[in-house]
Amino acid sequence: MDFFIGWIVFSILVGVYADTKGRSGVGFILLSLILSPLFGFIIALIVSPIKSNVVVRRELKECKYCEELIEKDDLFCRYCGKEQTQKAQPIKSDELKERLYH
């Protein structure tokens, strides 16, 4: 009986872990319950986090009026609505990470 409780608890932990990486927590819980928590954990470990992938793919720039981060190709700032000119500087990746994770 303890074995099954452990199985379920670890499956849920795998789901929670997968969720922190932007993956489907429920999906990983089911995967772990059906196959094994260890298998689910290994899959959760090797999949790349979704959130950081999105950040890497998107190119952001800083609105020169309100200094919020907007898409590089946006013609208008979605925060202050001001029109963006080509002069807006793309943000260096180091600086971007600092802004996103603080």
Would you tell me which residues interact with Zn ion (CB under 5 A)?
63, 65-66, 77, 79-80
What SS3 state is found at 67? coil
Contacts of 72 (CB under 8 A, 6+ apart): 58, 59, 60, 61, 90
> From CA 58, how far away is CA 100, in angstroms rounded?
13
Q: Would you say 12 or 60 has its CB closer to Zn ion? A: 60
**In the complex, minimum distance from the CB of residue 49 to Zn ion, in angstroms, rounded to a whole number:** 28
**In the complex, minimum distance from the CB of residue 84 to Zn ion, in angstroms, rounded to a whole number:** 8
**In the complex, minimum distance from the CB of residue 65 to Zn ion, in angstroms, rounded to a whole number:** 4
